[in-house]
Amino acid sequence: MTSHPLTAGVDYRGPLRPVRHLTATPQEGPARQSVVLDWAPPAGGRIVDHYIVYGSRRRHFTADDAELVVEAPVSRYVHGGLGPDSQVWHYRVVGIDAAGNVGSFRASPQAMATTAGSFVLGATASSQFSADYAASLAVDGSMSSRWAAAYTDDEWIQVELARPIIAGRVELHWQDAYARDYDLLVSPDGTDWTLVREVRGKPTADADIHEVTGAGAFRFVRMHGRLRATRWGFSIWEFWVSPTPG
């Protein structure tokens, strides 16, 4: 606990009052989801040293059986890494003041949020090196798993979106085995494709970010690798697509 000078004229005896106005707002992401928690400090003017955020998939939970228990230094916390499936979470937040007094868990407000689920529903590919490098691993929200194609040029991976969009942001997070030349294509149905980017002579494995618009409504996005930069197959940690607001 951080040491704070106590506010003059403020009574620090007894439990801290509950936090106020707790809200939980889901944030849609391309793979993993998050929930933004905001609240106001307890009434009474006490200095709050920090907060304890409790979360659970169950509505009726206790401080002892919560699935999420974290400290927050300010009155805001982002509960991230929740995707890709839709989830329901319930939260309570308890403050601890500068004198060490703890707010009541039972008296704390409760907020609930339902995440929308991943905007990218799934992925398919022309090939995979093995089952440990399946296309689905490029849309699981993890930078420690990846898709890898067979050790040939002219391979592709495509993703399906939760709904059609007319503008979006495409992120290709390459492993070291990246594409020197590739095409980016979009499609409304997974059959008829429109070329939106030609990348030639890509010099490094750095992530590529493309803003796609002007190709009509699309629900599928494909990276078609034309030429490998290494002797290995094309490989991508994550293939993310997000709708452009507006």
Query: What residues form DSSP beta bridges with 99?
Result: none
Burial (CB count <10 Å: 0-12, 13-18, 19+), residue 158? buried
- pLDDT band for 8, please (50, 70, 90 cuts): low
Residue 181: inside a domain: yes
Question: 52 with 26, same domain?
Answer: yes
Question: 102 with 152, same domain?
Answer: no
Say which CATH number the domain at 33 has.
Answer: 2.60.40.10
The tokens describing 154, both together, are 């002219």
Residue that terminates a domain, selected from 65, 98, 114: 114
Q: What is the pLDDT of residues 72-127, one digit of tens each?
A: 999 999 998 887 778 999 999 999 999 999 999 999 999 999 998 788 889 999 99
Residue 9: inside a domain: no
Residue 73: inside a domain: yes
The tokens describing 233, both together, are 């197959």
Residue 15: inside a domain: no
What is the pLDDT at residue 192? 97
Residue that terminates a domain, selected from 85, 114, 143: 114
Q: How many CB atoms are closer than 10 A to CB 55? A: 22
Question: 181 with 219, same domain?
Answer: yes
Question: 138 with 227, same domain?
Answer: yes
Question: 59 with 142, same domain?
Answer: no
Question: 132 with 237, same domain?
Answer: yes
The tokens describing 128, both together, are 């995979």
Question: 35 with 148, same domain?
Answer: no
What is the pLDDT at residue 4? 65
Residue that terminates a domain, selected from 89, 114, 139: 114
Say which CATH number the domain at 195 has.
Answer: 2.60.120.260
Residue 4: inside a domain: no
Q: What is the pLDDT of residues 10-33, one digit of tens each?
A: 788 888 999 999 999 998 777 778
Q: Domain tally for the chain?
A: 2
Question: In this structure, which amino acid lies at residue 11?
Answer: D
What is the pLDDT at residue 138? 95
What is the pLDDT at residue 7? 66
Question: 181 with 228, same domain?
Answer: yes
Expressed as residue numbers, the domain containing 42 is 20-114
**Rounded distance between C-alpha atoms, residue 145 and residue 143, angstroms:** 6
Residue 102: inside a domain: yes
What is the pLDDT at residue 119? 85
pLDDT value at 224 more than 90: yes
Q: What is the pLDDT of the chain when averaged over all its residues?
A: 93
